[in-house]
Amino acid sequence: MKTRKAPADTVRPPVGRLAVLRGDEGSVSTEIALTYVPLMVLAALAVVACLRLASADSDVNAAAAAAARQASLARTPAAAVAGGRDAAAATLQGRKMTCRPHSTSISSGGLVPGGVVSATVVCTVHLEDLFGLGLPGSVTLSGTSSQPVDRYIGSTP
């Protein structure tokens, strides 16, 4: 039987001390643990912040629309202001919106038939719990809506 010799350019596995110093086995898992996991956490926090702000903006606009609609149905300017504020607060409460503080201003224009009632809701959304993104502690959002006053308000058929 004939034995073959390995060619001179064949790479032989290291033996002894060289075996310890050689190789990068396991470096991918270290890369993932030290680089990609923190980046994924930051990306998830950024998505949560964007969704929170988009949802809050939608809720503030819905509260302004509800306030304007309720104010347009009132018979007196004082009732319009009270009804509009109550409607905005109820809308924000129903959507579990945590606006601390929020304010509602109603511009009734005297509630003349055919006139326009406007409502503006201003809300502060807190972002302190989303640390590490460099976001401000809170963002102030506002929504405005207008509704026509019923032409036949207060009249009887």
Rounded Cα distance between 154 and 114, Å, is: 13
pLDDT of residue 74: 87
Rounded Cα distance between 125 and 141, Å, is: 7
CB of 44 within 8 A of CB of 130?
no
Sheet with 116-126, side-by-side order of all strands? 102-107, 116-126, 138-148
pLDDT tens for each residue of the chain, 157 residues long: 667 666 666 766 666 665 555 556 667 777 777 888 888 888 888 888 888 888 889 989 999 999 999 999 888 888 999 999 999 999 988 877 666 678 888 888 778 888 899 999 998 888 777 766 777 778 889 999 999 987 776 544 4
Rounded Cα distance between 145 and 59, Å, is: 13
pLDDT of residue 60: 92
pLDDT of residue 111: 80
Rounded Cα distance between 102 and 77, Å, is: 21
DSSP 36: I
pLDDT of residue 132: 67
pLDDT of residue 8: 62
pTM of the model: 0.71
